[in-house]
Amino acid sequence: VRLATILEASGPVVAVVRGERVLAADLPAPELRSIVGLAGAGPAGLDLVRAWADAQPAGAWRPLAEVVLGPAVAHPGAIYTIGLNYRAPGEAPGSGPDRPLVYGKAATSVGAPGGVLDWDRSVTDDVDAEVELGVVIGQAAFAVAPEDALRHVFGYTIVNDVSARDPHLDGDQWLLGKSLPGFCPVGPWVVTPDELDPADLRLGCTINGEAIQDGRTSDMRFGVAEIVAFLSRHLVLRPGDLIATGTPARLATPPGPGRRLRPGDTVTARIEGIGELTTSIG
């Protein structure tokens, strides 16, 4: 099932997406009206949403173009990002990190698909975009083995891990350079694992139609199960926590000043089997 979060007058609510149509999941149980709530409810929660959607009349479904999408995960409890997780073309075997490198990104940085990203340029004027496969945690995970880890995955989405590159915000201060409001566009929706195997998906990013990244998730050093298991050895993962699993190599490295995001740019992050996540730079 594909689950978006749409913005209604009453606030964000989960919606089922089928093709070009969408149905707000106005379920009587408020805890099932958010991705975080659904993620914690386990398979029974998803079954309920599916059955409920099947029972609605065709006229209840609206065209996608008529709703406003919010961040696919409206209020994640935490966002973790994995650094240097894609093998570069031609790199020597064994040259990367020997375990996932984990950084935080403020949970308040989520942004909506199709949104406008604007920020105070006196904080940073050197910002770039990164397409990443986003993993949404389902039932809480602590100290799970890699072979059990995928049972704690609620679904997959696209994350644009917008990051400042100023020397004083990169490196040690990565958290700060990744956490401005809107620096984590996420969506357009969450696809549950029964519909998507994340092992070998094409993913890429364009700015104004020009490709800046074009890779495959099979080039990850650490796959989804290893990342979830590794993180869960060190901290408790909660329903709806979001993990951005790293970004593929850039087509032009080092990224020149022309790759910095500028007002008027349109950034599109794409992952096969999920869709497109577009952000306009304000």
CB within 8 A of 279, min separation 6: which ones?
111, 113, 114, 115, 116, 117, 129, 160, 162, 185, 266, 267, 268, 269
Which residue, 88 or 101, has its beta carbon nearer to a copy of itself? 101
Using CB under 8 A, count the residues that bind a copy of itself.
33
Cα 38 to Cα 57: distance, rounded to the nearest angstrom: 23
Q: How far is the CB of 47 from a copy of itself (least distance, A)?
A: 28
**135 and 222 Cβ atoms separated by less than 8 Å:** no
CA 156, CA 154: separation in Å to the nearest integer? Answer: 7
Q: Which of 175, 197, 200, 282 binds a copy of itself (CB under 8 A)?
A: 175
Q: Map the footprint of a copy of itself across residues 233-272, applying CB under 8 A.
A: 233-236, 238
* Rounded Cα distance, 199 and 272, in Å: 11
Residue 179 lies near a copy of itself (rule: CB under 8 A)? yes
Residue among 26, 87, 88, 108 that touches a copy of itself (CB under 8 A): 108
Q: Which residues contact 127 (CB under 8 A, 6 or more apart)?
A: 119, 162, 163, 164, 165, 260, 261
Cis peptide bond N-terminal to 185, omega within 30: no
Q: Please, which residue, 25 or 39, has the CB nearer to a copy of itself?
A: 39
Q: Which of 18, 116, 142, 145 binds a copy of itself (CB under 8 A)?
A: 142
Give the C-alpha separation, 160 to 171, whole Å: 18
Among 104, 15, 112, smallest CA distance to 60 is for 15
Give the nearer residue to a copy of itself in terms of CB position, either 99 or 262: 99
Q: Which is nearer to a copy of itself, 34 or 179 (CB)?
A: 179
Rank residues 104 and 263 by Cβ distance to a copy of itself and give the closer one: 104
**Residue 5: CB atoms within 10 Å:** 28
Other residues' Cβ atoms within 10 Å of the Cβ of residue 166: 14
Widest distance between CA atoms in the chain: 57
173 touches a copy of itself by CB under 8 A: yes
177 binds a copy of itself (CB under 8 A): yes
- Does 181 sit near a copy of itself (CB under 8 A)? yes
| Residue 123 lies near a copy of itself (rule: CB under 8 A) | yes
Binding marks (x or -) toward a copy of itself, 68..107, rule CB under 8 A? ---------xx-x--x---------------x-xxxx-xx
Answer yes or no whether residue 168 interacts with a copy of itself by CB under 8 A.
yes
Complex with a copy of itself: residue 173 or 266, whichever CB lies closer = 173
Nearer to a copy of itself, 20 or 142 (CB): 142
Q: How far is Cα 158 from Cα 210, in angstroms, rounded to an integer? A: 19
List of residues contacting a copy of itself (CB under 8 A): 77-78, 80, 83, 99, 101-104, 106-109, 120, 123, 142-143, 168-169, 172-173, 175-177, 179-181, 231, 233-236, 238
